[in-house]
Amino acid sequence: MTLFLASQSPRRRELLTQVGVAFEPLDASIDETPAAGEPALDYVRRVAREKAGAGLMQVAAVPGALVLGADTEVVLDGKVFGKPVDAADAARMLRALSGRTHQVISAVAVVGAAREDEAVSISEVTFAALTEADIVAYVASGEPFGKAGAYAIQGRGAGLIAHLSGSYSGVMGLPLFETLRLLRDFGVPARVRL
């Protein structure tokens, strides 16, 4: 059995490596545009499944191939905050999150030729009240780019967070508890057994 990770995210690679899961990376690009009126939870679950499915199409000839797909999004008032398109967009997101609690929804899907399953982690993250100077400095650091909600909990963005209730690794992009349970059900070994 070979596990493939349908993601180019260095954070997801790092997290899987951290818990001793052997995998091969894949670039499974899909259209991540939310459907009109699609609830945030449904959107995140769908994107994770579609990434895994697109990855499986690439490795269908590999005997016993399993593909893990994941998606993580920041959600405030039911609105998905994806990756910022530029500095102004990053600053807009950070202003909206300032002093408020938002959700981070992280979905994981594993698909193989004969079976598929998924798991979801929902965390609550409370930002401190940010000054305009805080926002300008953080955006200037470059860290918000390529990150859902324009922040990285594993980096300087940790200093923006007053409280976390849920999965730290889920906010990073791959909820390890849920991922390991899912992989265990598929017979994928890891150093950490739950």
Tell me how far the alpha carbon of residue 2 is from its chain's centroid: 22
3-state secondary structure (DSSP) of residue 171: helix
| The pair of three-digit structure tokens given for residue 62, joined into one six-digit string | 């590999």
| The pair of three-digit structure tokens given for residue 84, joined into one six-digit string | 């910022």
Alpha-carbon distance 141 to 167, whole Å?
25
Q: Between β-strands 116-127 and 101-112, what pairing exists: parallel, antiparallel or unpaired?
A: antiparallel
Helix-, strand-, coil-residue percentages of the chain, each rounded to 5: 35, 25, 35
Find the largest Cα–Cα distance for the chain.
54
Alpha-carbon distance 171 to 177, whole Å?
12
Q: Which residues are catalytic?
A: 71
Position 158, amino acid = A
Contact residues for 184 (Cβ-Cβ < 8 A; gap 6+): 190, 193, 194
